Amino acid sequence: MLKKKLALLTLLLGFGFSSQSQVLIALVFGDKLNSPNVEFGLELGPTISYLDGYNPGDWASSFFIGPSFNIRLSEHWWIHPSVQVVSSVGVENLDPYSIGDPEFDDLTDRFRVERRINFISVPLIARYAVTPHWLLQAGFEPALMTSAVDMFTADIEDGAQLNVDITDEYSRIDARVVGGLAYRFRTNTAGLWISAKYCYGLLEYPDPNSDLESRMQYWQITFEIPIGAAAKKE
Segment 48-67 mean pLDDT: 91
Do 115 and 51 meet the contact criterion of CB atoms below 8 Å apart? yes
| Alpha helices (H) in the chain, listed in sequence order | 2-14, 19-29, 102-105
Helix (H, G, I), strand (E, B) or coil at 8: helix
**Structural domains of the chain, with CATH:** 2-226 (2.40.160.20)
- pTM, two decimals, is 0.82
Which pLDDT band, with edges at 50, 70 and 90, does 16 fall under?
Answer: very low
The band of 28, judged by pLDDT with boundaries at 50, 70 and 90, is low
* Cα 37 to chain centroid, rounded: 25
Spell out the alpha helix ranges (H) of 53-206.
102-105
Greater model confidence, 134 or 23: 134
Q: Report pLDDT digits (tens) over 102-132.
A: 877 787 778 889 999 999 999 999 999 999 9
Can you tell me whether residue 226 is helix, strand or coil? strand
The arithmetic mean of pLDDT across residues 63-89, rounded, is 95
pLDDT computed for residue 69 by the predictor: 93
Q: Is 195 left (phi over 0), alpha (psi -120 to 50) or beta?
A: beta
**Would you state the torsion angle of the CA atoms of residues 147, 123, 212, 99, taken in this order, to the nearest 10 degrees?**
10
CB 196 within 8 A of CB 220: yes
DSSP string of 125-147, one letter each residue: EEEEESSSSEEEEEEEEEEEEEE
* 8 Å CB contact between 147 and 118: yes
d(CA 171, CA 106): 31
Q: Say if residue 22's pLDDT is above 70.
A: no
User: Which residue did the predictor score with more confidence, 28 or 182?
Assistant: 182
Q: What pLDDT, in 10s, does the model give residues 205-222? A: 888 888 889 999 999 999
